[in-house]
Structure 1
Amino acid sequence: MLLKQVSYWLARIGLAFFISFSVVACGDHSTEVVFGGKTMGTTYNVKYLADSKLDLPSPDEVQKVLDRTLQEVNRQMSTYQKDSEISRFNQLQQADTPFAIAPEFGKVVEEAIRLNQVTEGALDITVGPLVNLWGFGPENRPDKAPTEQEIQDRRTWVGIEKLHLDKQDGQYQLRKSVPNLYIDLSAIAKGFGVDQLASYLDSLHIEHYMVEIGGEVRAKGLNKEGKAWQIAIEKPEFDGSRAVQQIIGLQNMAMATSGDYRNYFEQDGVRFSHEIDPKTGKPIGHNLVSITVLSPSCMTADGLATGLFVLGADKALEIAEKNKLAVYLIIKTNNGFEIKMSSAFKPMLAQ
């Protein structure tokens, strides 16, 4: 996704990236801890204020736990790991055969199914075969766009109604009604990873932190200056340059952005976005270039950002107002970029 805490793809404002942790003394008997690393094909960054009154593990020990947490998310939900739970389910060729999955995996699928309804089918975690066909998944990118017949053939594999999630006594099982059903959680898993890291920091009673994975962010409390965490929404630039469109004061909230101006390919002068509309089987072609969503859960914000982006500006705003969602849209026009936002987002600009 395309939201940046001021140095993921941008030069960061207020967050430097460190592979090893750094510790800076602050006022009010607290210490600022900053560290980061690699995960999910991108980077993660964590920043928190360690109150001296708390009996906290060392920053190195905290990072080790967070790294193990992210490794477990990948073990369950990475389509790039052939032995992950999701990969083994995708490889299963028997229809209507129960496949046991971890509770965390089940909760993510459960939320994805719910958000499919909220976004009127636009967020569809079974769209993976089409994403792969267009060259934006683990399969190698084709030299040219697929044929109409190839698209229609793959569409028979796609549809949330072909995926069944069973839950009993906290245990989850998946079933598929067609052998070639393939699920891809890339639209929601990074957000879930952010929530998992935040949950661990909460368990330590840390009151002030910021967690980011690949641009998806969740923040609690205040930064070391005593202000809401300053998070940047990137201004779309098609020439590869970086610029800030808007700074948001994020406090006790998560934030995720989806856009198509970074990940695409061109053929014969036609630009193909990585965002695939499950209703057509083809890349989206509207003028919405970026949408940012705020939610208490980063998993929810992440999934909504993808689904609403697929729908385009007008429908996204309609759904946002109906469901009281906080969304910020950047729309390309003949005269540059136009900004729109939902009623629930406007109060965030004052922070």
Structure 2
Amino acid sequence: MGTTWSLRFFADPGFPEARLKRALEARFADVISIFSTWDDGSFISQLNRLSDTDTLTPPQSFLVVWRFAVEIAEASSGTFCPFSVGSWRDASSVLDGKTTISRPQGVVFDLSAIAKGYAVDMMSAEVSQFGIESSLCEIGGEFVGRGLKSDGQPWWIDLETPTRSQQKIRVALVNSALATSGHRYNSSFTPSGFASHVRGKSDDMDASVSVIAENCMLADAWATALLAAGETGVELAESSGLAAIFQSASHDVVYSSVAKRLLEN
């Protein structure tokens, strides 16, 4: 998937780790075959090559992610956009009650801001199918924590901070997910500065937004939306009832009211 993954879990002696690893790798391969914009043979790459009059029948997992992406795009008024080129307003017409999918003229589909979160959710679901009740699944710095560790403690995650002097922020994951979006994680340098893959109003290279949610797809999409919202991100988090943490090297850490309550408990 172009990134790393890790799994921590508690299981009885003799647990079939090799079989679990094979099952997870099969899940990852499926996600890549659908959502990878770097794989010319993936479903989304085929979709981006469609003419205005052609259609494709999408796999079920694409439908799940796409419908969720449209919901977040509408709820965020487009700060989350499922296209790398094109207007988020075109998203609702892509399916429009049909079982086939079309490509609005000029748009380029890109679900990278939500597909990794979906992959972590699928990873966690696969681990649970093996009877594991306590696990921490991670792909590229996004997490799903299930159950408690053997000592009764939750799965603790230390958020990366923009400066070494900033106090660490610890998040407990108990049947919840955490995703972070930031320009330094999603950008490349150009002669004129840096170019971020996050579309929106924020141009602070050190800015990041972390979201704690019930699943990682939700956390992933909203972290991107709130970062792209720039200065209105905190207001959007409040109006949407999100547990969000805003960090920047040039500003104090800002917690949404839901995040404050969650971290105080």
1:265 aligns with one of 165, 182, 189: 189
Q: Is 1:76 equivalent to 2:34 in the alignment? A: yes
State the AA in 1 paired with 2:226: L
Corresponding residue SS for 2:11? strand
Deviation at 1:209? 0.6
Aligned to 1:47: 8
Q: Is 1:213 equivalent to 2:170 in the alignment? A: no
Aligned to 1:290: 208
1:63 aligns with one of 18, 21, 24: 21
Aligned to 2:127: 201
- The 1:288–1:343 alpha-carbon spacing in structure 2 relative to 1, beyond 3 Å, is farther
Within-5 A mapping of 1:1-351 = 40-51=1-12, 58-92=16-50, 94-126=51-83, 128-129=84-85, 158-163=86-91, 164-167=94-97, 172-178=99-105, 180-237=106-163, 245-262=168-185, 263-268=187-192, 270-277=193-200, 284-286=202-204, 289-313=207-231, 315-333=232-250, 337-350=251-264
What do residues 156-212 of structure 1 show as CA deviations (whole Å, max 9, x unaligned)? xx01333412556xxx4221220x321111101110000001111222332111100
- The 1:338–1:287 alpha-carbon spacing in structure 2 relative to 1, beyond 3 Å, is farther
Aligned to 1:154: none
Q: Is the 8 A contact 1:218 1:254 kept in 2?
A: yes
- The 1:243–1:331 alpha-carbon spacing in structure 2 relative to 1, beyond 3 Å, is closer
Larger strand proportion of the pair: 1
Distance of 1:261 and 1:121 partners within structure 2: 22
Q: Is the 8 A contact 2:138 2:144 kept in 1?
A: yes
Deviation at 1:285? 2.3
Corresponding residue SS for 1:100? coil
Q: Is the 8 A contact 1:86 1:183 kept in 2?
A: yes
Corresponding residue SS for 1:345? helix
Q: Is the 8 A contact 1:101 1:174 kept in 2?
A: yes
Corresponding residue SS for 2:40? coil
Q: Is the 8 A contact 2:52 2:104 kept in 1?
A: yes
Corresponding residue SS for 1:114? helix
Deviation at 1:242? 11
Structure 1 gaps, min length 5: 1-39, 130-157, 278-282
- The 1:173–1:274 alpha-carbon spacing in structure 2 relative to 1, beyond 3 Å, is same
- The 1:258–1:41 alpha-carbon spacing in structure 2 relative to 1, beyond 3 Å, is same
Q: Is the 8 A contact 1:49 1:208 kept in 2?
A: yes
Corresponding residue SS for 2:257? coil
Larger radius of gyration: 1
Deviation at 1:326? 0.4
Q: Is the 8 A contact 2:79 2:199 kept in 1?
A: no
Deviation at 1:321? 1.3
What do residues 15-46 of structure 1 show as CA deviations (whole Å, max 9, x unaligned)? xxxxxxxxxxxxxxxxxxxxxxxxx1000111
- The 1:77–1:234 alpha-carbon spacing in structure 2 relative to 1, beyond 3 Å, is same
Comparing 56-65 with 72-81, greater Cα deviation is found at 56-65
Corresponding residue SS for 2:5? strand
Aligned Cα RMSD in Å?
A: 2.3
Provide TM-score, normalisation by structure 1.
0.69
Deviation at 1:347? 2.8
Q: Is the 8 A contact 1:234 1:243 kept in 2?
A: no
Q: Is the 8 A contact 1:288 1:309 kept in 2?
A: no
Distance of 1:193 and 1:167 partners within structure 2: 25
Distance of 1:244 and 1:73 partners within structure 2: 36
Deviation at 1:96? 4.3
Q: Is the 8 A contact 2:209 2:223 kept in 1?
A: yes
Q: How much identity, in percent, do the aligned residues show?
A: 28
State the AA in 2 paired with 1:253: S
Q: 4+ residue runs of structure 1 moved beyond 4 angstroms?
A: 241-244
Matched length: 262
Distance of 2:11 and 2:97 partners within structure 1: 38
Deviation at 1:330? 0.9
Structure 2 gaps, min length 5: none
State the AA in 2 paired with 1:103: Q
- The 1:176–1:233 alpha-carbon spacing in structure 2 relative to 1, beyond 3 Å, is same
